[in-house]
Amino acid sequence: MNEEIGAHNLWHVPILGEVHSDTVMTTWVVMAVVLVFLAWVGASYRSPRVGRTQTVLEGVVDYVSDTVHGALGPSGEPFIPFFLGVFIFIFALNQFGAFPLKVFGFPIGGSPTADINTTLALSLMVWFTIQITGIRRFGLGYFMHLTKPFVAVTPLNILDELLRPITLAARLFFNIFIGELLPVVVASIIIAKVSIGSFNLSLAAAVVPFFVQFFNLIVGTIQAFVFTLLGIVYMSLNLSEEH
């Protein structure tokens, strides 16, 4: 099995230039899967029976709602659907890498969040939502938060504000990219038939993929929570009533 790490199929789009077609198409597929899944869950409420899927999803809704309320108070109510959508979408993007579709020649596959273009777009979406909301709520006085706690730190606050989407994107990207890199490394060890003395490392590594996939499931879930939580925290810091 030969797989080039970080390689992407390309579309050559006028003005935009080279676009990672596999990332784009995989993202579309994930969006379709999420919409179908949510439609199925919504239809299940027609039955008086409460299923496990409903219970888990309601737990996620309650967690995001409580977090938004705790950070933003009643004024954060309109943002609950937004952050809930962010969490569910990123969770689905993170987990899609468990399906090795590219290995079988499909033009899609991998986690779109293992592409820095995806994570940067998501972080910029959150960042611009915060900025636009702040301007609509406080006018140009919104930017006064950059001068606190005193004017001398304004340049540092501006730099921190501009770097937030970059650090948010990089954190998600590197965690998911490393998770996708691990199965390739393990597969290489298995194929190479590596032995250390009498210890057959390749044979021992044959059971590792199961643990790697479980590890990626946990990491993907945590990173979706972390991304969503940091977005809520950033919004809370910028939209506090102290403006």
DSSP of 123-157, one letter per residue?
A: HHHHHHHHHHHHHHHHGGGGGGGGG-S-GGGHHHH
User: Of the ranges 68-77, 93-102, 131-140, which one carries the lowest mean pLDDT score?
Assistant: 93-102
Cross-strand pairs, 18: 12
In whole angstroms, what separates CA 90 from the centre of its chain? 4
Residue 149: asked if its preceding bond is cis (omega within 30°), the reply is yes
- Lookup: tokens for 186: 């393990």
d(CA 47, CA 50): 8
pLDDT of residue 229: 96
DSSP H or E segment with residue 84:
helix 80-95
pLDDT tens for each residue of 31-49: 999 999 999 988 888 877 7
pLDDT of residue 1: 46
Contacts of 152 (CB under 8 A, 6+ apart): none
pLDDT of residue 227: 97
DSSP reduced 3-state for 19: strand
Task: Give the side-chain half-sphere CA count within 13 A for 202.
Answer: 9
Task: Give the side-chain half-sphere CA count within 13 A for 18.
Answer: 5
d(CA 108, CA 106): 5
pLDDT tens for each residue of 88-133: 999 999 999 888 777 677 788 889 999 999 999 999 999 999 999 9
Task: Give the side-chain half-sphere CA count within 13 A for 82.
Answer: 17
pLDDT of residue 4: 58
pLDDT tens for each residue of 14-23: 877 788 888 9
Strands of 24-181 (E only): list them: none
Mean pLDDT of 7-29: 83
pLDDT of residue 30: 95
In whole angstroms, what separates CA 148 from the centre of its chain? 31
Residues in the chain: 243
Percent of the chain with pLDDT over 90: 47
In the chain, where the domains are located = 10-238
What is the gyration radius of the CA atoms in the chain, in angstroms? 21
| Amino acid (1-letter code) at residue 235 | M
